[in-house]
Amino acid sequence: MEKPTCFSNFLENSKPYFAMISLQFGYAGMNIITKVSLNRGMSHYVLVVYRHAFATAIIAPFAFFFERKAQPKITFPVFMQIFILALLGPVIDQNFYYAGLKFTSPTFSCAMSNMLPAMTFVMAVICRMEKLDMKTVRCQAKVAGTVVTVAGAMLMTLYKGPIVEMLWSKYIHPKSSYVTDTTGTGDKHWFLGSVLLTIATLAWASLFVLQNKALKTYKDHQLSLTSLVCFIGTLQAIAVTFVMEHKPSVWKIGFDMNLLAAAYAGIVTSSISYYVQGIVMKKKGPVFATAFSPLMMIIVAIMGSFILAEKIFLGSVLGSVLIVAGLYSVLWGKHKEGLENKDDEIPEAIKGSHVNGMSVVSTMDGDIEANEVKKAEANKLSSVAICMPISELPMKAGN
């Protein structure tokens, strides 16, 4: 067998980076295409329905093919868990997010979404899933990061400031129906959009916290759980749309930008992203996957200035810097906590003793050689969560 070359090793090690960078481009594209569709008059309620209908159609066959055996029994408590998850994710989170996106801009919306880790941390503390020990540096980092993130969000909400001109802005002339004219957006609408985005992120954080019990039931059937949440969410979104939209014409969709927005959001950000993100998280851990989130904001800012002629305000830039700084502070604290949990999880017997340069462990049946010890260590470490206090739902693709 040929030994792997340096180039092949480089490609193998680079795959998670390329995957997460590509995923951020996918998320950015969703924000831009959705904004164009909303600018052209599509109802965000209808968009949510079509998005999750596409997502269900894509994910369900894979769930049936790979996870049809030993399906968990859907009791009433399990059904209520799925019902609430669908209500928080597909219905509340995305309807409020799209409404906030309509009143603000894609860049602003992406920046506000970076509050998610801080909000999740606060909710976990309230639900007693996180313990505050202010004597430790990691806990201080998480608390400080949360405060800085909230300060950044408040700055973006309450202060717009002068427009920050891009070098290429004067040379870009997109279609008038695509343009996001935030210069004419009143402070009242901007503030309302900020509130809607905050509620959306809060619902998203609640989903992360409340899914913990559901994931225990569907530990080996995450595709099935995602399919059920998307399907129930589609039914709930239909009911909400019937209440909020009374014109039958809103349901009409042709081969246009509206269809592209719904299909793109459902297939790319609710289906493909789950698969890619799941692979990366298994290999590199949740901290690695979450750390790329601010890249989406930068991509959206550049794409938005080209496609939507989006105007970026100084308050948004300063607030984004604070939010990103707070994000990485929270992630660093979670990473250090994960490393400490690793050390605590390794049994003393596995840490072992050294005899003649070989690590061994004493058992009732005799001595286990070093390679068996390493296997035991690897199996133990692979079960330790690294980032959030609870596992991440496959639909993180979220907004």
pLDDT score of 95 more than 90: yes
In a domain, 215, yes or no: yes
Contact between residue 72 and residue 78 where contact means Cβ atoms under 8 Å apart: yes
pLDDT score of 399 more than 70: no
In a domain, 279, yes or no: yes
The number of distinct structural domains making up the chain is 1
Tokens 């927005």 belong to which residue?
261
The dihedrals phi and psi of 359, each to the nearest 5 degrees, come to -75, 125
> For residue 325, what are the contacts with CB-CB under 8 A and spacing of at least 6?
145, 148, 152
In a domain, 1, yes or no: no
| Domain around 192 | 15-397
In a domain, 323, yes or no: yes
Contact between residue 125 and residue 132 where contact means Cβ atoms under 8 Å apart: yes
Which range is least confidently modeled, 159-168, 263-272, 282-291, 330-339? 282-291
Report the share of the chain in percent with pLDDT over 70.
77
In our burial notation (b when 16+ CB lie closer than 10 A, e otherwise), range 355-387 reads eeeebbbeeeeeebeeeebeebbeeeeeeebbb
Contact between residue 227 and residue 63 where contact means Cβ atoms under 8 Å apart: yes
CA distance 399 to 396: 8
Higher pLDDT, 92 or 387: 92
pLDDT (0 to 100) of residue 392: 38
Report pLDDT digits (tens) over 47-56.
999 999 999 9
CA distance 242 to 57: 22
Tokens 């909303």 belong to which residue?
38
Contact between residue 117 and residue 376 where contact means Cβ atoms under 8 Å apart: no
Q: How high does pLDDT run on average in the chain?
A: 77
pLDDT score of 377 more than 70: no
pLDDT (0 to 100) of residue 238: 95
In our burial notation (b when 16+ CB lie closer than 10 A, e otherwise), range 72-107 reads eeeeeebeebbbbbbbbbbbbbbbbbbbbbbbbbbb
Q: Per mean pLDDT, which of 5-14, 75-84, 270-279, 371-380 is the most reliable?
A: 75-84
CA distance 265 to 279: 20
> For residue 80, what are the contacts with CB-CB under 8 A and spacing of at least 6?
none
In a domain, 319, yes or no: yes
Which of 150, 117, 89 lies closest to 399 in space, CA to CA? 89
In a domain, 9, yes or no: no
Average pLDDT over residues 334-341: 78
pLDDT score of 384 more than 60: no
In a domain, 203, yes or no: yes
Report the share of the chain in percent with pLDDT over 90.
16
pLDDT (0 to 100) of residue 240: 95
pLDDT (0 to 100) of residue 100: 92
Between the alpha carbon of residue 117 and those of residues 74, 97, 108, 345, 349, the distances in Å are 30, 17, 17, 24, 36
In a domain, 147, yes or no: yes
